[in-house]
Structure 1
Amino acid sequence: MTGTSLFSSAGISETYLEDIGLNITVANELLFERANLYQAIYPKSNMIAGNILDDTIFKSILDNSSDNLDFLLASPPCQGMSVAGKNRNVQQMLNDERNYLVFRIIDFIKIKSPKFVLIENVPTFFKIELPFQNQQLKIIDILSILFKDEYNIEAEVYDASNFGVAQKRTRAIIKLYKKGLKWGSPIHSENISVEQAIGNLPSIEAGEKSKIKWHFARKHSKNHIEWMKNTPTGKTAFENEIFYPQKPNGEKIKSYDTTYRRIKWDEPAPTITMRNDAISSQLNVHPGRLKKDGTYSDARVLTPLELMLLSSLPKDWNIPNDTSELLIRKCIGECIPPLLIKKIVEQIDN
């Protein structure tokens, strides 16, 4: 099968597609830093970098995609699509070009008529209402109006942790497949814990490096390290009686109890966020292990390798050695785990 990928980022979601006989031959990504990483990972694919709303860019994607296209993968950004809570009227929405990104997918489907289409996004994607035919409609309703005679259309929210990924991450999945074709549903598997995914990696502290590729720890402030050294597995530093997050004047910092928190060993990791580089961000501090002195090891955020493994990326993920650590962290923080995509796509009966 041949496919095209839109809003590709670094192509993390496509990691295992070649293994199941699907070759993405054309891809598009707006941000050149991500597009360049994508091209390095997939040198045989034609990465067309630039704004898909630009007619020249869109025409290039169409012209380079197969005339008898099997598969389309699309992960459109969802910012700016909803009027809810923003005091925005329809005209303001019409002036926000981000709202038209999903319509580029629709245009692509109309022109190339792929056999199978997978659109993925955050779960709120199903609730967003878009301007269409002089009314506000949800994306599922729009797709149904346009394609119900040609395609079977299915929508479901999947939690990656139910499909062999050591991370709780929910994604909205829309499947379109031509009438007469078959596309089944993936089978649930047992949860993979943080311990099973990264428990065999050597313990390292903030600023330290191991001999294992991508397993190195970010530097953190002395205060952050002290607070987390005294924070048990699965707990937040705000629960500490002495070593709690505080301002220079000693005043306790006010924040959510999901911050300055260690994750747990015995269950899948929480959703990895874009700010997985910061101890003060949400649920991204290593679980740690109790030491003889009563403190806990690994007072740091997760290493790039740990993030990869918790996102179902392979230990030997083939990215260039000089790839920026922060770029890796950002791409992982916004990705859909590739094992989930594999398990969904391999249910295609071609």
Structure 2
Amino acid sequence: MPLNTIELFAGAGGLLDGFEQTREYNLLAAVEWLKPQCKTLRHRLVDRYNIQDANSKVINFDIQRTDELLHGWKNDLKFGTNPGLDSLVANNEVHVISGGPPCQAYSLAGRIRDEHGMRYDYRNFLFESYIKVVSHYRPKLIVFENVEGMLSAAPDGELIVNKIRRGFDEIGYEIVDDLRKFALQNLADYGVPQFRKRLIIIGIRRDGDNLNYQNILHHFYLNILPNFKEAQRTVRDAIGDLPPIYPLENPTSKRAYQNNSNINGHYSRYHNERDRNIFRILATDILNDTHLYDNAESLKELYYQQTGKKSNVHKYHVLNWDNPSTTIPAHLKKDGLRHIHPDPNQQRSITVREAARIQTFDDDFLFNESMGASFEMIGNAVPPYFARKLGLAISQLYELL
């Protein structure tokens, strides 16, 4: 019997896609507040999984308005009218609630970029809405994913993870006692071709029985989930077979690359001649194993030499064919100077499709929104390849309860 699920903060559906691949789950509803993500997810559910009622199952709404989300709302200028989650769940038992609040408020990079260290970002406390939905449906298991930076985030002086632990405890859920030791996982160890550390927090509903929930959670992290580990995969494994995209011999102010592959999302953003030259220098340095630019100071100096501007954070990073990629971030929607293709002759940053490949989205997972929106939803996603393994592990855990 498939486990009934609700997905919160669904995004484009990376976590959900992996769960669907297992055939162990029945999606009751998914909630996401950004329209491009909702459109992408709906198309995916119809095209790949033949979920014909995806338009109603994927709810476009603000989870902070939790009562309306549960019971419905009418004539909202942004979100229209919807009968709410309860109407979709109906009389079904909810077995699993999964998802993770937006990570920007917790990420170390986000705190560096924000002048207030993200202390005043509303996303710091979106977990409270997650907990309200869990409290309403009381699933046996919860899956809560987020960035490593959550472990140290304390916008009001108290660690966010302590607030989360207390919040789940108050509604009768147990999470593992040492999150850094158990819940922090490097997804590269599960065959995702990038170094991507994420907190995978599993919560179990306490039912007044004699089960030792900490022992069960330890067993999950030490025995069940590690069974799905595999050898690390490289950038070459992920994108090496995609057709190259070279600069034009005579670029214009609007078009600089041979963007004619006809592969969904496989076209380069525009880069000027200066940046193309820098990309060639850096990629050649790696290819020739000369290591002239393998530290932050040398990269900052290169940036100053080329632009006349100084920066406290280095701007460039070239991927290495023979290693996993660095983490694919949502910030790629704005940042065209990182995640540079390792081929010196291509002189560009990676495409949407290459980012999707490194995030383990299948090639038939289509990204038809703007380049910025596509990079954002890819960077924010749980890699589906890992999500499938997590879904199988969660199914095994459920059988123990």
For 1:190, the equivalent position in structure 2 comes to: 231
Distance across 1 between alignment mates of 2:231 and 2:278: 34
Q: 2:280 aligned to 219, 222, 229, which one?
A: 229
Alpha-carbon distance, 1:71 to partner: 1.1
Deviation string 1:51-98 (CA, Å, 9 cap, x unpaired) is 11223123312442364111111211256689x99999xxx97xx754
For 1:38, the equivalent position in structure 2 comes to: 41
TM-score, L = length of structure 2: 0.71
Deviation string 1:31-65 (CA, Å, 9 cap, x unpaired) is 12222222222243411111112231233124423
Distance across 2 between alignment mates of 1:259 and 1:160: 25
Gap regions ≥5 residues in structure 2: 72-83, 248-256
For 1:293, the equivalent position in structure 2 comes to: none
Alpha-carbon distance, 1:256 to partner: 5.7
SS at match of 1:215: coil
Q: 1:254 aligned to 310, 314, 319, which one?
A: 310
Contact 1:153 1:177 in 2 (8 A): no
For 2:357, the equivalent position in structure 1 comes to: 309
SS at match of 2:382: coil
1:1-350 alignment runs, 5 A limit: 1-20=3-22, 21-43=24-46, 44=51, 45=54, 46-54=57-65, 55-59=67-71, 60-65=84-89, 67-78=92-103, 98-129=123-154, 138-143=162-167, 145-147=169-171, 151=174, 153=176, 155=179, 156-178=183-205, 183=220, 184-187=224-227, 188-206=229-247, 207-209=257-259, 210-231=261-282, 232=284, 234=286, 236=293, 244-245=302-303, 252-255=308-311, 258-276=314-332, 281-282=337-338, 284-288=339-343, 296-317=344-365, 319=366, 322-347=368-393, 348-349=395-396, 350=399
Contact 2:151 2:159 in 1 (8 A): no
TM-score, L = length of structure 1: 0.80
Gap regions ≥5 residues in structure 1: 289-295
Q: Cα–Cα, structure 1 residues 136 and 53, in superposed 2: closer, same or farther, change >3 Å?
A: closer
SS at match of 1:172: strand
Q: Cα–Cα, structure 1 residues 257 and 105, in superposed 2: closer, same or farther, change >3 Å?
A: closer
Paired residues, number: 328
Instruction: Compare the two structures and name the one with the higher helix fraction.
Output: 2
Alpha-carbon distance, 1:226 to partner: 1.6
Distance across 1 between alignment mates of 2:239 and 2:161: 43
Distance across 2 between alignment mates of 1:270 and 1:137: 25
Distance across 2 between alignment mates of 1:140 and 1:340: 24
Contact 1:185 1:344 in 2 (8 A): yes
Letter in structure 1 aligned against 2:34: L
Identical columns (%): 21
SS at match of 1:275: helix
Deviation string 1:224-256 (CA, Å, 9 cap, x unpaired) is 11222222254659859xx94457xx6643336
Deviation string 1:20-40 (CA, Å, 9 cap, x unpaired) is 122322011111222222222
Distance across 1 between alignment mates of 2:155 and 2:161: 5
SS at match of 2:129: helix
Q: Cα–Cα, structure 1 residues 341 and 254, in superposed 2: closer, same or farther, change >3 Å?
A: same
Contact 1:13 1:341 in 2 (8 A): yes
Distance across 2 between alignment mates of 1:141 and 1:4: 21
Alpha-carbon distance, 1:324 to partner: 2.3
Alpha-carbon distance, 1:201 to partner: 2.1
Distance across 1 between alignment mates of 2:36 and 2:60: 10
SS at match of 2:30: strand
Distance across 2 between alignment mates of 1:68 and 1:251: 59
Deviation string 1:116-151 (CA, Å, 9 cap, x unpaired) is 2101111122334588xx998714531453255x54
User: RMSD of the alignment, in Å?
Assistant: 3.5
Deviation string 1:187-246 (CA, Å, 9 cap, x unpaired) is 321110111111122222242222444322222111111222222254659859xx9445
Distance across 1 between alignment mates of 2:168 and 2:11: 27
Distance across 2 between alignment mates of 1:256 and 1:298: 28
Contact 1:72 1:117 in 2 (8 A): yes
Letter in structure 1 aligned against 2:191: G
Alpha-carbon distance, 1:19 to partner: 1.9
Query: Which stretches of structure 1, 4 residues or longer, exceed 6 Å deviation after superposition?
Result: 84-88, 134-137
